[in-house]
Structure formats: C-alpha cells, structure tokens
Amino acid sequence: MNSINIMMMEHQNILRMLEVTRKYCLKVLKNEAVAYEDFYKIIDFVRNYADKHHHGKEEIMLFNRMTEELGFAAEKLVKHGMLVEHDMGRLYMSELEEALRKLEAGDEEAKLDIIANAMGYVNLLKRHIHKEDNVVYKFAENNLKKETRDIIDDESSNFEKKAEGAGVQKKYLDLLSELESKVNE
C-alpha cells in the first residue's frame, strides 16, 4: 500500500477520534458526568498518533519533497496552509490541557475553554483532512515524479514498521476503541 493510502486510512482513525471528542464536549455542555481524565487520553492520541505519527510522516516525507520538487504552488499550499493548520492544532491541544488543569484546580469556568479548544480542534481537523484527501494528496500524486513517490513510499513503509515494532498503532487504535465504547454507553 502506498504512503498516501496509509495516510488517508489514518485520517479515518483521526476522524473517529474527532467524533469521540465532540461527544465528550456535548456531555460537558449538558452537565452530564464526564471522566475528564479521558480528555488527557484524547490529547495523548492527538499528540502521538495524529501529530507525531501521522503529521510526522507528512511533514518529514511528503511536504518537504513537494516544496522541493513542485515549487511555489506546493510551497504556498504546504507552508501557508497545511503546516499552519498543524501548528493551530498543536495550540488547541495545549490550550485544552491548560483548561483541564484549571478545572482540576476548581475553576468551573474552565469547562468553556475545554469545549472551545476541543471543538476548535475538531472543526479545524475535519476541514484540514478534507483538504489533504481531496487537494494536497491528489496534487502530490499527480505532480511528483514517480521516483519521488517511490522514495516517500519506502520511507513511509520503514517508518510504519518501526512504529509497529514500538506498538504505536496498536496502542492508539486500542485507545480509540476504548474511548468510543465509553462515550457511546
């Protein structure tokens, strides 16, 4: 399987976690019982699966090659679009983590910041994934040289094998299933 197909499959897992996050936010909004420690699990998933694992491949393997080989159009799309959105997502997670700490310290208003930052991330990533699947990846597939795509595929395959050896995919897909079952009870 080529690297872009793998990244698109990872997008499906990330979209599932976005749905989990939305459901947790709804529970907060309705003032239902919420296991707030599960938000830390969501942050862990986002930082280590969505960002480090998935975005790591995009940023290191795909985006760099696109800007090198495809020039201005790719540079604008990547540097002023996708990378900015990756950074915005990281900011939302930092702000969510800070809001959770405030809530733990007794600041009830922090629930607003939990919802705002979690939903900000959800909405950002839904649009971001749509753009990557329908614009960025297609642009790369249609315009990168076959040799370049083959190099990216090889690097991605090695990256996946190393992550699999460390149990990354299993850990985070199990965590996703755990949170899906909890929020759908």
Quote the pTM value. 0.96
Q: Taking a C-beta distance cutoff of 8 angstroms, is the pair 183, 23 a contact?
A: yes
pLDDT per residue as tens digits for the range 127-155: 999 999 999 999 999 999 999 999 999 99
* 121 belongs to a structural domain: no
pLDDT of residue 57: 94
CA distance 128 to 46: 14
pLDDT (0 to 100) of residue 134: 97
* 76-133 residue pLDDT tens: 999 999 999 999 999 999 999 999 999 999 999 999 999 999 999 999 999 999 999 9
In-domain check, residue 101: no
Is position 65 within any domain? Answer: yes
| Cα 99 → chain centroid | 20
What pLDDT band is residue 1 in, cutting at 50, 70 and 90? Answer: confident
Residue 96 lies in a domain: no
> Is residue 22 domain-resident?
yes
Q: How far apart are CA 122 and CA 17, in angstroms?
A: 9
Contact 124, 88 (CB under 8 A): yes
CA distances from 38 to 43, 114, 138, 181 (A): 9, 12, 35, 12
Residue with tokens 């990256």: 159
Task: Indicate whether 122 belongs to any domain.
Answer: no
Judge contact between 89 and 124, C-beta under 8 A.
yes
109 is a domain residue: no
pLDDT, position 14: 98
- Of 64, 44, 46, the C-alpha closest to 156 is 64
User: Taking 90 as the threshold, does the pLDDT of residue 185 lie above it?
Assistant: no
Whether residue 95 lies inside any domain: the answer is no
In angstroms, the Cα distances linking 77 to 64, 82, 107 are 12, 7, 40
Range of the domain at 134: 3-88+127-183
- Chain centroid offset of residue 128 CA: 9
Q: Is 71 helix (H, G, I), strand (E, B) or coil?
A: coil
59 pLDDT more than 90: yes
| Total number of domains constituting the chain | 1
Given a contact cutoff of 8 angstroms between Cβ atoms, the answer to whether 3 and 62 are in contact is yes
